[in-house]
Chain A
């Protein structure tokens, strides 16, 4: 069912070196087979959107990329480094891969500024003043520099998610992972977060986004991957995938989310 990698790799970025390489990845939660022979190639600078019904394994897939989950079979290479139990390789990968979560996961006991400077100071060993200048720069980019001294609990959901994006960017990652970044937000706040993500896409950042926001996918994605029951069912350019679904599973999924909108 799954189409071959080479045929669908984004034409615009096909010549760029791969940022993420998944080869026949399999994962089980106990007896449940959640990722089945998933192979995926994300080029440097490519914007990939992963969609699919809940329980299809899309979140598990991107959580495997920075090893918040471990896979049991196959290989995952990020930025040329093979993911394994080697802690030094893991540290190197996590430094280069930023992640934004559905539930923001800001640190509630630290101010917005401290949330952003923590990792640069403790992981990149950046001097405090430099880290703060960097953090303010990114907070300005997500348009909330005036909230720097507040605590996460004092911000709206949309603002918190933008802080989470700034926090990840402060590590100057090569790759950004988004795990349903707008699913926990009230409708009026989804737009501000998506706009931030569009702005980020325009800078040429390699992005892998798990999202159901079709508008966003059409606007920025180079490629859309549709997953169902742990496997990649279809992939291709957004218009292709959304206008001409070839499988019944994708047709069903599209009809369901369109009805929801």
Chain B
């Protein structure tokens, strides 16, 4: 009993419980079967990685003179022909944008990326951010079109590559997200006309494939316009994407609205908050942070779905990559081009995914007790 007053000193945990050795033991070699399986997988991974390094680095050809691809062809698939990227990267990134003016498209891509990085910082989430967006998008418009400030005019038909993907995805989600919130709120409205309109919109748009909407936008829509009037093809595709994404996002947002207990609405009502104050300060802040994972899921999906515009003849990143290898000299080097294009898509999507996880953790701090 006399020992009870002095607590015994805490001993460091044995090496079998903490540290990297313990981790390997519990996760990879917890039994003879799992040990054997781990070794087999390790062998396969090393073998595959070495094969990839041999193909992609050791045996690879990085450049060839004047489209002479014999050096690449002599490899017979044992090495990568990165020369196709060296040669065609500007076409993949900028499409048929005039060669001497491609710095403008490049600058636009940098502005987009800068805009994403600034918007991701919560310290910048103020009213001024809206002005930054308007300013940035105006700058991109001026850069891409030109015709003012001494820049040569470049018609939209010549835009292409990564810039098109970023334009479609950024404008698409920037307009579709607010639209989806309004539709989700409208679906829960007590006014039957608004509710019916929102249900009709969501069900109609969700009921058809994006491709058919794009076809309608590019082929059918001009038939309804008065003669001589023409709406830019990119704009029509953009509107189709906004409407489509809006319907899907609306259902995600509605899911968030439904998880809120009725007491939250009643407490806001009892305090005398107006509908918009209640919605903007109490309901949406809670509902939206609950649906960050499915929202980002949809965002990532639509970022990639913008590649479907190829069927109406718009040159996005993927189409530009595909077109780059149509030239006879470069035929057969699809793997290198698609790996590169895939890597660019992956960078954007992975960034979105990681960011959303951080945001979720940060915004849900209040739920930690």
Footprint of B on A, CB under 8 Å?
Answer: 66, 68, 91, 94-95, 97-99, 101, 103, 105-109, 118-119, 122-123, 151-154, 167-168, 171
Contact code string B257-292 (vs A, CB < 8 Å = 1, else 0) = 000010110111111111001000110011001000
How far is A123 from B276 in the complex, measured between Cα atoms in Å? 12
Contact of A103 (CB < 8 Å), options: B263, B272, B273, B281: B263
Establish whether residues B366 and A122, one from each chain, have CB atoms under 8 Å apart when the complex forms: no
Establish whether residues A106 and B267, one from each chain, have CB atoms under 8 Å apart when the complex forms: yes
How far is A169 from B268 in the complex, measured between Cα atoms in Å? 14
Residue numbers in A under 8 Å from B366 (CB-CB): 108-109, 151-153
Establish whether residues A107 and B273, one from each chain, have CB atoms under 8 Å apart when the complex forms: no
How far is A250 from B369 in the complex, measured between Cα atoms in Å? 43
CB distance from B125 to the nearest CB of A (A): 15
How far is A152 from B286 in the complex, measured between Cα atoms in Å? 14
CB distance from A123 to the nearest CB of B (A): 5
Contact of B367 with A by CB under 8 A: yes
CB distance from A185 to the nearest CB of B (A): 16
Known contacts A119-B273, A153-B369, A171-B272: A109-B267 contact under CB 8 Å: no
How far is A151 from B266 in the complex, measured between Cα atoms in Å? 20
Establish whether residues B271 and A108, one from each chain, have CB atoms under 8 Å apart when the complex forms: no
Establish whether residues A94 and B272, one from each chain, have CB atoms under 8 Å apart when the complex forms: yes
User: Chain A: which residue is nearest B286 at the CB level?
Assistant: A109
Known contacts A151-B366, A153-B366, A153-B369: A109-B270 contact under CB 8 Å: no
Known contacts A101-B263, A105-B263, A107-B282: A167-B271 contact under CB 8 Å: yes
Contact of B271 (CB < 8 Å), options: A109, A123, A152: A123
User: Chain B: which residue is nearest A96 at the CB level?
Assistant: B272
- A-B pairs with beta carbons under 8 Å apart, 26 shown: A68-B270, A94-B270, A94-B271, A98-B270, A99-B267, A99-B270, A101-B267, A101-B270, A105-B266, A107-B264, A107-B282, A108-B286, A108-B366, A109-B285, A109-B366, A118-B281, A119-B272, A122-B274, A122-B281, A123-B271, A123-B272, A123-B274, A152-B366, A168-B270, A168-B271, A171-B271
How far is A106 from B277 in the complex, measured between Cα atoms in Å? 16
Known contacts A68-B266, A103-B263, A108-B286: A122-B273 contact under CB 8 Å: yes
Q: Which of B317-369 contact A (CB under 8 A)?
A: 366-369
Establish whether residues B272 and A91, one from each chain, have CB atoms under 8 Å apart when the complex forms: yes
Contact of A101 (CB < 8 Å), options: B266, B273, B277, B281: B266
How far is A99 from B281 in the complex, measured between Cα atoms in Å? 19
CB distance from A117 to the nearest CB of B (A): 11
CB distance from A8 to the nearest CB of B (A): 29
How far is A123 from B268 in the complex, measured between Cα atoms in Å? 11
CB distance from A178 to the nearest CB of B (A): 12
CB distance from A93 to the nearest CB of B (A): 8
Known contacts A107-B264, A107-B267: A153-B367 contact under CB 8 Å: yes
Residue numbers in A under 8 Å from B268 (CB-CB): 107
How far is A122 from B281 in the complex, measured between Cα atoms in Å? 10
